Structures are given as structure tokens and as C-alpha cells.
Amino acid sequence: MKCRPLLQSAAALGIAAVFTALSGFVGFAGFAILATPADAAPAPRKRIGVSLLSQSHQFYRDLEDAIRSEAKNRDFDLMISYGEFDHVRQAEQIQSFIDKRVDALLIAPCNSNEVGVGIEIANRARIPVFTVDIANKSGRGQVVSHVASDNYDGGLKAGALMAEALGGRGKVVIINHPGVASVMERVRGFKDCVAQYPGLEVVSDIPGWGQRDRAMSIMEDLLLMYPEVDGVFAINDDSAMEVVTAIDATRHPRRIVAVGYDGTEDARRAIKAGKIYGDVVQYPRTIGELVARTIASHFAGKPVEPEIRVGVQVIGASGLWGSENAGLE
């Protein structure tokens, strides 16, 4: 494919006998015994407020499962809500978590350009904020760490799939999701790859908002506007599946190549059936585990990376291939 972004141990320290009575210790006959108050309370559980994009996507259901599993291992108390593509609703969720004085916020923004106000309020309340999958691009507010797929690389891979399927020539449309940073990155990668092929042309880049019900009607309209279209890049698999449905429903006379993004089971079955040419595979469970561990490290006072990228792979009729640093599940 042409487009490729291609502690010291206790033994070492030794053990010294303690003979001097110290605060919190009771000493006798050369022994030191730690006195633990009978009524000492355990440390309170850390509470994390979580607001994600949409429960309708398999990606987010898998992400939530992984966050819950890792949080249980670390005895975190999770409060999870979904914005369902509505940034105003999500802002209300974020404010509610701030009012409850959670110990941290984890956000997958419904709109990367609108989430900054809520993050600023959390900053003023000294609540650390983390983002997952979708970054804050508002220019407002400070985030401790962002964990996501390498979406630019994924876009390059999607573009390479399209170029491969069309032999480097043809008219292509993109079903997009404006305002979402992860999608903006994959579309940028896709376009950068396509630009390397003079015979490939993006004739339309239209919002589908990443939702099944919108993608099908949009694809039907695109087929009327561009009957000569050769390929479609759908920015997630929900959109890709509806692209396939629309192509079948209209009985379009031309072969149209569909390339998706996520690697869901539905998309894999469509690839085997020859309905989708190929798909970029994300690893939401790996992302969920990493972001929960990152929050735990921050709570422990350890430094964390401001940005953590999880590699992606590609799946086609011949199987799975791709990034060496892909998260493997």
C-alpha cells in the first residue's frame, strides 16, 4: 500500500532494627510494633465522571466495558453518561459531575470545538480532565492526557485501501462527521493519501454525523448527485453499513467501492460478503484500559503522557494487516 506514515528493592536497602520509640510505634524488648488505630478509615474511593459520545456505537460500548473493567480493578467509582451527539446535553452532564465534586472527569466530546467551556470550569474547580477518542480542539481548558487511536494513520490506510480497490483512478465521496477531532484527523489522512494519486478525485465531502439513520438518506442523495461515483469513504462502520444498504436499495448499475472505519463485526461480515472492500480497525478495549490506567497513574502522583496513540490495522478480504504498534486484543 502506497500511503504509510508510516525503585530500589527492600533487600538492597536492608532492614534496620528500631529500638527508639517513635510516634505511631510501641517498642519493647528490641522489637518495633506498628500501632494501627482500630478506627482508621479506608481511603475513600475515587469518583470519576464519564461523558461519552454515543451508546449507539459498538466502539463506545466496547470502550465503556474496558473502562469499567479496569476501574473495578482499581476500585474506582464510575458515573457514566452519554451525550448522544448533543454537545449542550454533554455540557450539562459535565456541570453535574463538577457539582458532585468528582475526583476526575473523562470526556469523549460530542463536539471538539464546544467542549472547552466545561473543561475550563473543571479546571477552576481543580478537577483533572482526561479525554478519550475525541480531543478538545476548542483552544480552551487544560486536559491532563488524551488517549485515542492514531486516526491520521488510519485515514492514510483508508486512502490506500481506496486507491488499491480503484487502481488509483476514480471519483470518491466522503461521508464525514464535522466537529469531531478524531474524524477530522482520519479525513485529513484520507485526503493526503488520495492526493498522491492524480487519477483519484474527492468530488464530495458531506456530513453524515456518524449516524446510521442519516448516512443512508445521504448516500441515496449522493448517488443521484454523482451517478458516476466509484468509491465511498465512510468515517465509521455505522455509516459504512448504511452506504451498503443504500447502494443495494437503489440497484445502482456501477460497482461502488465502500471503505469503512472501526472494524466492527457487522463490517467484517460485510467484507466477507464482498459488500465492503476494507476497513480500518480500531481497538476500543485497549484505549479504555489505557485511559483508566492513565487516570490511576495521575492519582498516584506519577507523570503521564499528554497524548497516547493506539495503532490501527486494516482488514480486507485477505485478512488483517497494518501497524506494528496496533493494540492487540
pLDDT value of residue 17: 31
Q: What is the CATH number of the domain that holds 289?
A: 3.40.50.2300
Torsion region of 274: left, alpha or beta (phi above 0 gives left; psi -120 to 50 gives alpha)? left
In-domain check, residue 53: yes
Evaluate if residue 31 carries a pLDDT over 90.
no
The grid coordinates listed for 171 are: 471519483
Note whether 133 and 169 are same-domain residues.
Answer: no
Q: What is the dihedral of CA 49, 54, 56, 57, to 10 degrees?
A: -100
In-domain check, residue 68: yes
What domain range includes position 163?
151-281
In-domain check, residue 177: yes
Cα distances (Å, whole numbers) of residue 229 to 123, 211, 222, 252, 316:
48, 22, 9, 10, 21
Evaluate if residue 145 carries a pLDDT over 50.
yes
Length of the chain as a residue count: 329
Evaluate if residue 234 carries a pLDDT over 60.
yes
Residue 58 dihedral angles phi and psi, to the nearest 5°: -60, -35
In-domain check, residue 289: yes
Note whether 268 and 160 are same-domain residues.
Answer: yes
| Start-to-end CA span in the chain (Å) | 24
Final residue before a domain boundary, out of 265, 281, 297: 281
Instruction: Give the pLDDT confidence of 245-270 residue by residue, as tens digits.
Output: 999 888 877 899 999 999 999 999 99
Evaluate if residue 325 carries a pLDDT over 80.
no
Instruction: Give the pLDDT confidence of 36-79 residue by residue, as tens digits.
Output: 444 556 778 999 999 999 999 999 999 999 999 999 999 999 99
Whether residue 221 contacts residue 214, with contact meaning beta carbons closer than 8 Å, is answered with: no
Note whether 159 and 266 are same-domain residues.
Answer: yes
**Helix and strand element counts for the chain (H, E):** 10, 15
In-domain check, residue 297: yes
What is the rounded distance in angstroms from the CA atom of residue 325 to the CA atom of residue 310? Answer: 7
Instruction: Give the pLDDT confidence of 273-309 residue by residue, as tens digits.
Output: 999 999 999 999 999 999 999 999 999 999 999 999 9
In-domain check, residue 38: no
Instruction: Give the pLDDT confidence of 201-229 residue by residue, as tens digits.
Output: 999 999 887 777 777 788 888 888 999 99
In-domain check, residue 60: yes
Cα distances (Å, whole numbers) of residue 170 to 202, 204, 262, 284:
9, 13, 24, 32
Instruction: Give me the mean pLDDT over the 12-34 stretch.
Output: 33
Note whether 65 and 124 are same-domain residues.
Answer: yes
pLDDT value of residue 1: 56
Note whether 99 and 127 are same-domain residues.
Answer: yes
Instruction: Give the pLDDT confidence of 106-135 residue by residue, as tens digits.
Output: 999 999 999 999 999 999 999 999 999 999
In-domain check, residue 41: no
Note whether 211 and 66 are same-domain residues.
Answer: no
pTM score of the predicted model: 0.84
pLDDT value of residue 304: 98
Note whether 157 and 231 are same-domain residues.
Answer: yes
Evaluate if residue 22 carries a pLDDT over 90.
no
Note whether 127 and 233 are same-domain residues.
Answer: no
Residues 6+ apart with CB under 8 A from 114: 87, 91, 138, 179
What is the number of structural domains in the chain?
2
Residue 20 — pLDDT band, cuts 50, 70, 90? very low
Whether residue 179 contacts residue 207, with contact meaning beta carbons closer than 8 Å, is answered with: no
Note whether 297 and 203 are same-domain residues.
Answer: no
The per-residue DSSP string of 9-56 comes to: -HHHH------S--TTEEEETTEEEE---TTPPPPPPPEEEEEES-TT
Evaluate if residue 3 carries a pLDDT over 90.
no
Instruction: Give the pLDDT confidence of 165-204 residue by residue, as tens digits.
Output: 999 999 999 999 999 999 999 999 999 999 999 999 999 9
Note whether 161 and 273 are same-domain residues.
Answer: yes
Note whether 299 and 237 are same-domain residues.
Answer: no
Note whether 174 and 102 are same-domain residues.
Answer: no
What is the rounded distance in angstroms from the CA atom of residue 24 to the CA atom of residue 301? Answer: 25
